[in-house]
Amino acid sequence: MDYDIQKIRSYFPVLNQKVYNKPFVYFDNAASAQKPVQVLMTEERLHNDFYGNIHRAAHYMADQATIEFEAVRIKIQKFIKAEVREEIIFTKGTTESVNLVAHSFGEKYIQEGDEIIVSEMEHHSNIVPWQLVAGRKNATVIKLPFTDSGELQLDVLEKMINPKTKIIALAHVSNVLGTINPVEKIIEIAHSKNVPVFIDGAQAVQHIPVDVQKLDVDFYAFSAHKMYGPNGVGVLYGKRKWLDEMPPYQGGGEMISEVSFEKTTFNEIPYKFEAGTPNITSVVSFGSAIDLITEIGLQDIGKWEQDILAYAASKLKEISGIKIYGEAPEKSGVISFNVGNTHPYDIGMLLDKMGIAVRTGHHCADPVMQHYKVPGTIRISFGMYNTKEEVDLFIEALKRVLVML
């Protein structure tokens, strides 16, 4: 594999800085990835050269902005291999994408007494929206459990699905455990019983190739900022057969066809779900992040990160008292651990003083912490620019921290 790590790192100037006079090591990519110069330059170019509100004017600036904006929709369509561009909806992030489906799909299809299956390893953003719709509709959210090794119990899933089951929601990759869930198998099980599936892909699309048509997934969501793109942009993919039937999530400009006080008719998809002025510059600069991932090659990025993941896990296991959570055979990008009875925050705070950025706490996944009966963990997560040398710096710093504590 010809993976030019120095060239890749050169795209991220932030990695060259010192933190507390120490080399900066960024292992918090699952929370948000750093931004390459390509993304920053695209946003600046748009503001300097042709900023205008899209879809709504006959002038040059608006036309150019619209062309660039819609070109990104097509890039995303190709990136996840959606059938048509109309199945790509722009949102503010994965969280809004979940809320959109929970609210709109729920309004149309979920009734009193129905059930929504949600996995135990979900981020809160893929639990709470379903609880909200269940509360409005007098439906029930049912937990799909996972094993101590961090694997979903598919045998339990098959028994859980019944005529009251209206949708199944789960993560492609766990943001705490790093487990790559067998979503293709889960979708096959669900569809055999005519149940649609929503997949939270926020921790997947930057690490592993995703083909929504091959998966046959009904809904798939992710965020730009975890893919080296800007904040405030998310994507919802939905099969056209669902999106056409679902009511709008929000009202406003762009999502309408015609408005009167007697009646409003709604726009076609995807615009029916894109009320108001979107985050134009961030959407366009997100296109540059996708270009960079495509140029380097997602397969090569994944192999590089898997090597880093395995190396870090092996080095952690050499330290006395380390407990790693989630040992599923298929993992991506994330290791969560604790050391004895030491509080994760104490370790994270001291690592920060040594230039190492990690995440500590419950990672917006309280049910996972409850499963393992811990208040929180230390999480390290990797991106395309991380190296084994950085892992060595982290391990050395962790050993020093443990001596201090």
Active site residues: 364
Question: In angstroms, rounded to a whole number, what is the distance separating the alpha carbons of residues 293 and 35?
Answer: 12
- Which secondary structure element, helix H or strand E, spans residue 5, and what is its range? helix 5-10
- Which secondary structure element, helix H or strand E, spans residue 345, and what is its range? helix 344-353
- Say how many C-beta atoms besides its own lie within 10 A of residue 329's C-beta: 9
Distances in whole angstroms, Cα of residue 220 to Cα of each of 88, 157, 391:
10, 20, 32
Residue 28, helix vs strand vs coil: strand
Which residues, including other chains, have CB under 8 Å from residue 3's CB and lie 6 or more apart? Answer: 296, 300, 303, 304
Question: In angstroms, rounded to a whole number, what is the distance separating the alpha carbons of residues 291 and 294?
Answer: 5
**C-beta of residue 254 within 8 angstroms of C-beta of residue 275:** yes
What is the DSSP track for 182-237? -HHHHHHHHHHTT--EEEE-TTTTTTS---HHHHT-SEEEEESGGGT--TT-EEEE
Rounded to 10 degrees, the C-alpha dihedral 48/53/59/61 comes to 20
Residue 369, helix vs strand vs coil: helix
- Say how many C-beta atoms besides its own lie within 10 A of residue 81's C-beta: 14
**C-beta of residue 360 within 8 angstroms of C-beta of residue 344:** yes
Direct distance between the N- and C-terminal alpha carbons of the chain, in angstroms, rounded to an integer: 41
Strands (E) across 67-177 are located at 88-91, 115-119, 140-144, 165-171
Residue 143, helix vs strand vs coil: strand
